[in-house]
Amino acid sequence: MLSQIAYALPFLAEGFALTLWVSLLVVVLSLFAGVILGVGLVYGPAPLRWAVRIFSDTIRGIPILVLIFFVYYGLPAVGVHLQSFWAAVLALTLFKTAQVVEYLRGAVASIPKGQSEAAMAIGLTFRQRLAYVIFPQAFRRFLPPWINGVTDAVKGSALVSLLGITDLMQAINQVIGRTYEAMPLYILGALLYFAVNYALSYASRRLEQRFAFIRE
């Protein structure tokens, strides 16, 4: 049994690498999209605010799995052909972007209004106010939940196995299909996911402690 699993290790490692790669792409892309949309939600004109609000509430209101199937099966139906890998990344990015929007909104809302009023009073432009006053402070509130939320991207990425993408989850299922060693492999997989996510939530807790002094 052990030799069979040892034989499968390189295959599992490839799957694990793909899981990390998908998660990384999703985290980076959603960070950009989420921050831009989040600024739109807080400072944009009313129609933009409404659009972002509807986007965020819709995406957060449906299961990730439905979102993944919708994007994967729905896009080709309307003539958009993406590789399953990119369809999966797109769906997970949409899901994660909605989260980032909310983290950003929360972080900016937590900065006292007096700060931007004072910045206005000394004649800073809108961009200067964001860059020198609001963002440096909001960043501290944004970072811990955001890092903690990265675990959602890693966990969510396990669902892409259902699209036939050989991530860690799919690699495990395939090895089980050959070796019938279900339990040891599921536990191995669980430990790998655990290691990544626990490290991330640990980092987020440490950061939160470090930034705690700003709390009233």
Partner 1 sequence: MGYTLNFNLIWRHFDKLSGGLLLSLELALISIAIGIAIGLVLAVWYVSAGRIVRGVIAAYVEFIRNVPLILLVYLVFYGLPTVIDIAYSAQTSFVATLALYSGAYLVEVFRSGLEAVPRGQIDAGKAIGLTPWQRLLHVRLPTMMRITLPALSNTFISLFKDTSVASVISVPELTYGAQWINFNTFRIVEVYLVVTAMYLVTGYALLFALRLVERWYRTAR
What single-letter amino acid sits at 205? R
Q: Counting contacts by CB under 8 A, is residue 38 touching partner 1?
A: no
* Residue whose CB is less far from partner 1, 34 or 156: 156
User: Helix 182-210 vs helix 135-157: angle between axes, to the nearest 10 degrees?
Assistant: 180
Report H helices in 44-134.
46-61, 64-77, 84-109, 113-121, 126-128
For the chain, the first-to-last Cα distance in angstroms comes to 56
Does position 54 interact with partner 1 (CB under 8 A)? The reply is no
- Per the document, the length of the chain is 216
Does 62 engage in binding with partner 1 (CB under 8 A)? yes
Residue numbers 117-176 binding partner 1 by CB under 8 A: 151, 154-159, 161-162, 169, 172-173, 176
Q: Which of residues 63-82 bind partner 1 (CB under 8 A)?
A: 63-66, 69-70, 73-74, 77-79
Query: Residue 212, Cβ neighbours under 10 Å: how many?
Result: 10
Residue 198 binds to partner 1 (criterion: CB under 8 A): yes
Query: How many other β-carbons are positioned within 10 Å of the β-carbon of residue 56?
Result: 21
Residue 143: name the closest of 198, 60, 210, 94 by CA: 210
Residue with smaller CB distance to partner 1, 142 or 193? 193
- What DSSP state is assigned to residue 123? T
Number of residues interacting with partner 1: please give it, by CB under 8 A. Answer: 39
Calpha distance 177→62 (Å, rounded): 31
Q: Which is nearer to partner 1, 25 or 163 (CB)?
A: 163
Q: How far is the CB of 207 from partner 1 (least distance, A)?
A: 17
Q: Binding to partner 1 by residue 50, rule CB under 8 A?
A: no
List residues binding partner 1 (CB under 8 A). 58, 61-66, 69-70, 73-74, 77-79, 151, 154-159, 161-162, 169, 172-173, 176, 180, 182-183, 186-187, 189-190, 193-194, 197-198, 201
